[in-house]
Amino acid sequence: MSQERIYWLAWSQIPGINSNVLEKFLEYYGTLQEAWLADVAELKAIAPLRSNVVEAIAGTRSQLNPEKFLQEHLRQNPHFWTPADPDYPRLLLETPGIPPVIYYRGEVNPEENQGIVPVMAIVGTRKATEHGCRWARQLSSYLAQYGFTIVGGMAKGIETLAHEACLAVKGRTIAVLATGVDVIYPQQQQLIYQQILSHGGLILSEYPAGSNPDSNRFRARNRLIAALSRGVLVIEAPEQSGCLITARHANEFGRDVYVLPNSPEVPQARGCLRLLNQGANLILSAEELLLQLGSVPQVDPLPQSRPDLTPDLAQVFQVVQTEPTSFEAIVTGSNLPSGLVAGALLELELLGLVSQLPGMMYKKSAT
């Protein structure tokens, strides 16, 4: 276990300490462990800290043992990432103000975290029109069938419909919460929460188990949705919608924003029309959206050393080409039973060596 993981967690417990401060400490000391041991007066000289934050640092460090705190924290929060962990989402690392800790529940896709599998956000109002509901379902299911992971805030209305439509076509979806990953808010969202987990999806949050929602946490959730995504689709949003916060952050992070048009007489469309006026992309059809998304910059995978492969894995890997290769061609070329080939392909995917495409097609991952 990385020592830095322990200290990212420890520093996150101090009120007033955010990732911008921690980045200054890292730049100066090289590690957060060294910063933890540094004199408070020196810390204050490195980063602008208010007096109450300085007091909080001194008080917390005198009472909190980072190693012991980690063990206690893991009892209620067994699954979380810090920027020191290899699975911390790649796009977040490239975003200013990264969260010191991300808690998760569900199934992790390493390629998704590395930025290889594209993630798109679909957000919108809780009080959607029938027009908005229809488009939310259509766009989510269409993108999911083309290999996009759909992320949203699990809010009622547009976002729940997007999660459901994705799952209906056996796609993958991520819900970002303004609560702990164990807290469902409101309780009426219990069903979609369970469906996401039971169908191999993922629940994410910046907050530890047991955390309840507040207005600041909803704003932070919207920011995290934008940071995790290659682009944000705003289906419907009135003028004061929180979705506009998500879109604003997307612009700050260099992500594309796409909006669904409607009449100015429809209240749920006015926020979208404002975004269009600010330069957002127009959604005219699912097919055209997919063409637009084809120009979204791809993230180069992190360089990895190739692991030693068993003979069967090596045999299957040799048959897979850099161009899409059908499952049948891989079975024929490897001269192995189809069940063994299926298992080998799954293992090669988990190793980051092979990518699955729609229609039971596979190709070698870029190295």
Residue-wise pLDDT for 101-158, tens only, equals 999 999 999 999 999 999 999 999 999 999 999 999 999 999 999 999 999 999 999 9
Q: Answer yes or no: is 228 within a domain.
A: yes
Q: Answer yes or no: is 13 within a domain.
A: yes
Q: What is the CATH number of the domain that holds 352?
A: 1.10.10.10
Q: Answer yes or no: is 226 within a domain.
A: yes
In the predicted structure, residue 77 carries a pLDDT above the cut 90: yes
Q: Answer yes or no: is 81 within a domain.
A: no
- Based on the domain organization, do 37 and 138 belong to the same domain? no
Residue 367: the pLDDT is 52
Cβ(253)–Cβ(274) under 8 Å? no
Q: Answer yes or no: is 300 within a domain.
A: no
Residue 345: the pLDDT is 87
Lowest mean pLDDT among 152-161, 213-222, 341-350: 341-350
- Based on the domain organization, do 316 and 262 belong to the same domain? no
pTM: 0.79
Q: Which are the contacts of 158, defined by CB distance < 8 A and separation ≥ 6?
A: 122, 123, 124, 125, 126, 128, 132, 133, 136, 152, 235, 236
Q: Is the peptide bond before 83 cis (omega within 30 degrees of 0)?
A: no
- Based on the domain organization, do 165 and 21 belong to the same domain? no
- Based on the domain organization, do 289 and 150 belong to the same domain? yes
Domain tally for the chain?
A: 3
Give the integer Cα–Cα distance in Å for 364 and 319: 10
Averaged pLDDT of the chain: 91
Q: Answer yes or no: is 301 within a domain.
A: no
- Based on the domain organization, do 260 and 139 belong to the same domain? yes
- Based on the domain organization, do 121 and 212 belong to the same domain? yes
Beta strands in the chain (DSSP E): 80-81, 102-106, 119-123, 149-152, 173-176, 202-205, 231-234, 256-259, 281-282, 325-326, 354-357, 361-364
Q: Answer yes or no: is 69 within a domain.
A: yes
In the predicted structure, residue 325 carries a pLDDT above the cut 60: yes
- Based on the domain organization, do 156 and 211 belong to the same domain? yes
Give the integer Cα–Cα distance in Å for 72 and 78: 10
Cβ(172)–Cβ(149) under 8 Å? yes
Other beta carbons less than 10 A from residue 328's beta carbon: 11
- Based on the domain organization, do 146 and 216 belong to the same domain? yes
- Based on the domain organization, do 158 and 230 belong to the same domain? yes
Domain that holds residue 65: 3-76
- Based on the domain organization, do 26 and 53 belong to the same domain? yes
Lowest mean pLDDT among 85-94, 135-144, 173-182, 286-295: 286-295
Residue 304: the pLDDT is 46
